[in-house]
């Protein structure tokens, strides 16, 4: 008690000033409307800023979970499309779709390492043989084709991206059905080349280029890019078609691995194609 009284005695001037200052400010903000409104406005602005910062932080922390949820939802929607089904009968399709069988399933993954400035570029993705991923399976994103599985480990896989030579993915110009193979010349990560199309065909600029689905690596109709220009291959009756990729391979993060449930059967059937066409 003695120490408390000594403290009061020592700082009595300051304490009296603080008390009078508090009383004065109370009367000031209570009875004068403009300062009071300014005070309330400032308080609201500060509170709003704090809440906005909190919202942005929460939204950032939830981004990973939201992306994963969206990826799963995309898979569910894609699995319901007709391109993922194999017709079991040439008759009419019933409403309940009993004449179709699921042909393609997808494994969601995330790119954890990548290159895009080399002559041959690869991605490392976060899924592997534990999830059923195998060599030569197709890989695509929500924007378009990404590449093909080159190696599958238990937990991680290496993807040979579209930015490599001799990838040769079967593609076609959607509007005309003209088909060829996707290649990359190693120059521009935004552009690829469509080869093998006869120059008898009319090439319409900005036509959509999609997967053909003939090799069983990708289902038909996955975006690849759009036709930017076409020029005649010197000395050959072919077009050299430059396409603008639909995917940006420098920023792509989330992908899907294609599992063709009928690929083994297709490969087995095609293995019986005779080398000599006369046999």
Q: What span, in angstroms and rounded, lies between the C-alpha atoms of 117 and 220?
A: 29
pLDDT given for residue 93 in this prediction: 35
C-beta separation of 85 from 100 below 8 A: yes
pLDDT given for residue 24 in this prediction: 72
pLDDT given for residue 199 in this prediction: 86
pTM given for the model: 0.66
In degrees, rounded to 5, the angle at the alpha carbon of residue 177 between the alpha carbons of residues 211 and 141 is 20
pLDDT given for residue 21 in this prediction: 77
Q: Which domains does the chain have, with CATH numbers?
A: 2-61 (no CATH), 64-88+95-270 (2.40.10.340)
| Tens of pLDDT, residue by residue, the chain (279 residues) | 666 666 667 767 777 777 777 777 676 655 554 455 455 445 544 544 564 565 465 555 545 555 665 665 566 565 555 455 444 444 433 334 444 567 889 999 999 999 999 999 999 999 999 999 999 999 999 999 999 999 999 999 999 999 998 888 999 999 999 999 999 999 999 999 999 998 888 899 999 999 998 888 999 999 999 999 999 888 889 999 999 999 999 999 999 999 998 888 888 888 888 876 555
Q: What span, in angstroms and rounded, lies between the C-alpha atoms of 112 and 122?
A: 11
**210: which residues sit within 8 A by CB, 6+ positions away?**
171, 172, 174, 220, 221, 222, 223, 224
C-beta separation of 244 from 191 below 8 A: yes
CA dihedral 156, 193, 216, 151 (to 10 degrees): -20
Neighbours of 46 (CB within 10 A): 10
C-beta separation of 190 from 224 below 8 A: no
Q: What span, in angstroms and rounded, lies between the C-alpha atoms of 213 and 193?
A: 18
C-beta separation of 196 from 160 below 8 A: no
């Amino acid at each position: 008690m003695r120490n408390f009284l000594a403290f009061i005695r020592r700082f009595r001037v300051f304490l009296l000033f603080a008390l009078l200052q508090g009383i004065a400010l109370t009367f000031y903000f209570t009875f004068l409307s403009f300062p009071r409104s300014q005070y309330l406005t400032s308080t609201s602005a500060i509170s709003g800023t704090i809440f906005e910062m909190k919202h942005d932080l929460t939204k950032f922390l939830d981004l990973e979970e939201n992306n994963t949820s969206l990826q799963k939802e995309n898979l569910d929607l894609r699995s319901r499309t007709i391109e993922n089904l194999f017709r079991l009968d040439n008759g009419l399709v019933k409403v309940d779709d009993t004449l179709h069988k699921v042909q393609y399933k997808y494994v969601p993954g995330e790119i954890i390492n990548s290159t895009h400035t080399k002559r041959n570029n690869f991605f490392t993705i976060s899924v592997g043989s534990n999830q059923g991923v195998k060599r030569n399976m197709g890989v695509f994103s929500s924007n378009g084709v990404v590449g093909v599985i080159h190696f599958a480990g238990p937990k991680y896989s290496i993807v040979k991206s579209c930015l490599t030579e001799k990838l040769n993915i079967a593609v076609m110009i959607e509007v005309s059905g003209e088909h060829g193979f996707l290649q990359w010349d190693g120059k521009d990560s935004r552009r690829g080349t469509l080869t093998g199309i006869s120059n008898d065909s009319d090439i319409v600029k900005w036509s959509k280029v999609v997967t053909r689905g003939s090799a069983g690596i990708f289902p038909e109709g996955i975006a690849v890019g759009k036709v930017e220009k076409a020029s005649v291959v010197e000395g050959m009756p072919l077009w050299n078609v430059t396409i603008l990729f639909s995917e940006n391979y420098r920023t792509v993060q989330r992908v899907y691995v294609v599992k063709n449930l009928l690929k083994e059967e297709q490969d087995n059937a095609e293995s019986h194609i005779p080398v000599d066409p006369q046999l």
